[in-house]
């Protein structure tokens, strides 16, 4: 007697990730490596094509570093340029540029496409969730997460509950992070939340120290590592974040808190003008070419 072929169970999550930049790629790698299917959406087809290559490379790297569960088949990746892909998702993670207007427009459009009850997750480093939720028909479906870069190596994620985030949305976001083997730490909504509100002004101060000629970037990082236990140093961290992303985040913090310590330093702005954005461009405070 021939037995019927064994059917694999359908995955309980089907993600749409919006934005094929550094964080969109990193989140996609994390999800694929845990067996979740992902539809990655970006309006730029060339960026999507480059993203596929980066995703393949980062999946191999993550596997070599034992950062993904062994024996889990890689999830299926589909890419496209239409937001309509989000219609069938069980959750949507928005990872577009750190600009409130851009995020609001994308989230509002996606909110009109998804089934009611679908959690919308904004991966923002500094913009208050409630500020973005105001443009949605169902603001209770929006929750914030702040994945650190690269997401497949950092085991904890900040989860931001806006004042209008519903209980079911929060629970769904925490469950999704659990499926990705990430520890969720839930915090209240505020500009920069916890991690960016502390880390980004510190990086800004480190850049000011270099700008003043007090020490080189290498010396600043060596002292922060050797004396204060920072794992990489603030300026290597800036290169990993992306200096343009860091300037955007600091600008949001400065505008919404009035804290002059969050005003992006001239050195950070100059590096952005010169195209020295960190690892993703090959040069930042350090040379990666």
**160-184: per-residue pLDDT in tens?**
999 999 999 999 999 999 999 999 9
In tens, the pLDDT along 96-126 reads: 999 999 999 999 999 999 999 999 999 999 9
User: What is the CATH architecture assignment of 15-188?
Assistant: 3-Layer(aba) Sandwich (3.40)
In tens, the pLDDT along 221-250 reads: 999 999 999 999 999 999 999 999 999 999
CB atoms under 10 Å from CB of 269, counted, come to 17
- Our answer to whether residue 146 is catalytic in this structure is yes
Element holding 38 (H helix, E strand): strand 38-41
Residues near 133 by beta carbon (within 8 Å), at least 6 away in sequence: 139, 142, 162, 164, 165
Distances (CA, A) of 71 to 33, 172, 210: 10, 25, 46
75 within 8 A of 34, measured Cβ to Cβ = yes
The percentage of the chain sitting over the pLDDT mark of 70, rounded to a whole number, equals 96
CA distance 272 to 270: 5
**pTM of the complete model beyond 0.95:** no
Question: At the topology level of CATH, where does 195-279 sit?
Answer: 1.10.1040
Q: Which one from 146, 200, 230, 254 is the annotated catalytic residue?
A: 146
User: Over 60: is that where the pLDDT of 3 sits?
Assistant: no
User: Over 70: is that where the pLDDT of 11 sits?
Assistant: no
In tens, the pLDDT along 30-85 reads: 999 999 999 999 999 999 999 999 999 999 999 999 999 989 999 999 999 999 98
Domain spans of the chain, in order of start: 15-188, 195-279
In tens, the pLDDT along 192-219 reads: 999 999 999 999 999 999 999 999 999 9
Arithmetic mean of pLDDT over the chain:
94
Bond prior to 212 in cis (omega within 30° of 0): no
């Amino acid at each position: 007697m021939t037995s019927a072929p064994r059917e694999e169970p359908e995955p309980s999550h089907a993600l749409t990730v919006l934005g094929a930049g550094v964080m969109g790629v990193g989140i996609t790698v994390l999800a694929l490596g845990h067996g979740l299917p992902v539809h990655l959406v970006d309006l730029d087809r060339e960026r999507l094509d480059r993203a596929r290559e980066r995703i393949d490379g980062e999946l191999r790297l993550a596997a070599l570093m034992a950062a993904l569960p062994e024996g889990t088949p890689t999830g299926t990746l589909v890419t496209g340029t239409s937001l309509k892909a989000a219609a069938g998702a069980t959750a949507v993670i928005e990872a577009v540029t750190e600009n409130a207007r851009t995020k609001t427009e994308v989230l509002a459009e996606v909110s009109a496409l998804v089934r009611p009850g679908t959690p919308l997750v904004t991966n923002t480093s500094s913009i208050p969730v409630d500020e973005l939720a105001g443009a949605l028909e169902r603001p209770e479906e929006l929750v914030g997460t702040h994945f650190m870069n690269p997401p497949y190596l950092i085991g904890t994620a900040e989860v931001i509950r806006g004042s209008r985030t519903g209980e079911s949305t929060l629970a769904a976001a925490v469950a999704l992070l659990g499926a990705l083997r990430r520890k969720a730490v839930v915090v209240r909504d505020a500009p920069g939340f916890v991690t960016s509100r502390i880390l980004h002004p510190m990086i800004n101060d480190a850049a000011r120290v270099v700008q003043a000629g007090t020490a080189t970037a290498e010396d600043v990082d060596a002292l922060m590592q050797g004396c204060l236990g920072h794992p990489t140093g603030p300026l290597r961290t800036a290169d990993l974040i992306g200096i343009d992303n860091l300037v955007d985040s600091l600008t949001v913090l400065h505008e919404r808190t009035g804290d002059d310590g969050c005003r992006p330093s001239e050195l950070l702005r100059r590096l952005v003008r010169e195209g020295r954005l960190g690892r993703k461009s090959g040069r930042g405070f350090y040379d990666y070419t």
